[in-house]
Amino acid sequence: NAGVMQNPRHLVRRRGQEARLRCSPMKGHSHVYWYRQLPEEGLKFMVYLQKENIIDESGMPKERFSAEFPKEGPSILRIQQVVRGDSAAYFCASSPSGAGNTEAFFGQGTRLTVV
């Protein structure tokens, strides 16, 4: 049973380009969470999605960032017109359910570097 799969593991983008990060949850999991981690800091919640629905995007910047979790395929976190401040590790976590579930399974993360 494969764990949470994120790709790419490392992504380099020039300022102004788009970054697209993918997350395939564990088999049987229908809830996906995206977190961002800056160096020497904890993970900050960005967005929570279920299949075809955004449940909570309170931690996601209003501009340039978007997320989706289509009926088929992985969840995608999209960052348009990247800036240096977007450089961070982006982690995806999945769980079989939302409320009441107390354990999240994390992927290895995508390290985004904006040059």
Partner 1 sequence: GQSLEQPSEVTAVEGAIVQINCTYQTSGFYGLSWYQQHDGGAPTFLSYNGLDGLEETGRFSSFLSRSDSYGYLLLQELQMKDSASYFCAPFLTDSWGKLQFGAGTQVVVTP
48 binds partner 1 (CB under 8 A): yes
Q: Which stretch binds partner 1 (CB under 8 A): 17-25, 67-75, 79-87, 101-109?
A: 101-109
Q: Which residues contact 79 (CB under 8 A, 6 or more apart)?
A: 18, 19, 20, 21, 64, 65, 86, 112
Nearest to 90 by CA among 4, 28, 16: 4
99 binds partner 1 (CB under 8 A): yes
Contact between 84 and 64 (Cβ < 8 Å): no
Q: Residues 14, 63, 71, 102: which binds partner 1 (CB under 8 A)?
A: 102
33 binds partner 1 (CB under 8 A): yes
Where on the chain is the footprint of partner 1 (CB under 8 A)? 3-4, 31, 33, 35, 37, 40-45, 48, 55-56, 59, 89, 91, 93, 95, 97-109, 111
